[in-house]
């Protein structure tokens, strides 16, 4: 799966980090870092993260 984040929408609220900490991280300055191509075993957590994002900044491409 491929993960896309729209940084125009991201407000660094961190809900994605709660849902999928293996894939999303916020650094001390509040900048989001994420795995663009996470393992398929994390698909459920990544979908949860996209659903949990209050600004709908996360898009997922699943093959």
Residues lying near another protein in the complex (CB under 8 A): 11-15, 17-18, 21-22, 25-26, 28, 30, 51-52, 54, 56
Q: Tell me how far, at minimum, the Cβ of 49 lies from another protein, in Å.
A: 11
3-class DSSP string for 40-54 = HHHHHHHHHHHHHCC
Minimum distance between the CB of residue 52 and another protein, rounded to whole angstroms?
Answer: 6
Rounded CA-CA distance 13/44 in Å is 20
How far apart, in whole angstroms, are the C-alpha atoms of residue 53 and residue 39?
Answer: 20
Cβ closest to another protein, residue 28 vs residue 62: 28
> At its nearest, how many Å lie between another protein and the CB of residue 63?
18
């Amino acid at each position: 799966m491929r993960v896309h984040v729209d940084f125009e929408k991201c407000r660094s609220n961190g809900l994605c980090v709660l849902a999928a900490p293996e894939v999303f991280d916020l650094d001390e300055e509040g900048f989001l870092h994420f795995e663009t191509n996470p393992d398929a075993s994390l698909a459920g957590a990544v979908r949860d993260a996209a659903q949990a994002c209050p600004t709908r900044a996360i898009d997922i491409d699943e093959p």
